[in-house]
Amino acid sequence: MGPRRRARILAVQALFAYDFTRCGVEDLTGFPWADGDGEDKPADIGGDTRDFAVLLIAGAIGNLDAIDSAIQKQLEHWDMGRLNRLDLAVLRVSVFSLFFMKDIPPSVVIDEAVDIARDFGTDDSYRFVNGVLDGIRKAMEDRHESA
């Protein structure tokens, strides 16, 4: 697994934890849950992986109102409170990337989100995540074209 994929997974895990604890970015970026024997022990999270994960975590939390607003606009007859918490974490990290990381193509952001949702979410998570993110991508393109 590449460093950016690991960073995205760590960011999703952090946003998932944030949704329950509302702890600060500093606490989340210490990666306290990554203390097992695998490759995600805090001491084993490399500089590039750590830096990208911190950027995603801090950026998503710092822009949560705009991110959640964009997600809510894609939910027909749904309330944010009804969303699967893991799906929401994947969406938040990905919407941050779509909005603020212009050097990453939207197709890459969406593909990564779908893969993470497929690996960690429910059987239908990846379809849901793909639909919401594609709707946000299209809305962004429409705004750009009309500007």
pLDDT tens, residue by residue, 25-79: 998 988 877 755 555 555 467 789 999 999 999 999 999 999 999 999 999 888 8
Mean pLDDT of 5-22: 95
What integer pLDDT is reported at residue 147 of this predicted model?
63
Q: Is residue 129 scored above 80 in pLDDT?
A: yes
pLDDT tens, residue by residue, 74-102: 998 888 889 999 999 999 999 999 999 99
Strongest mean pLDDT among 22-31, 69-78, 109-118, 134-143: 109-118
What residue ranges do the domains of the chain occupy? 3-146
Closest alpha carbon to 121 in 87, 98, 97: 87
Mean pLDDT of 122-141: 96
What integer pLDDT is reported at residue 33 of this predicted model?
72
- Give the per-residue SS3 of 82-104: HCCHHHHHHHHHHHHHHHHCCCC
What integer pLDDT is reported at residue 105 of this predicted model?
97
Q: Which CATH architecture has domain 3-146?
A: Orthogonal Bundle (1.10)
Helix (H, G, I), strand (E, B) or coil at 62: helix
> What's the CA gap between 35 and 14, in Å, rounded?
14
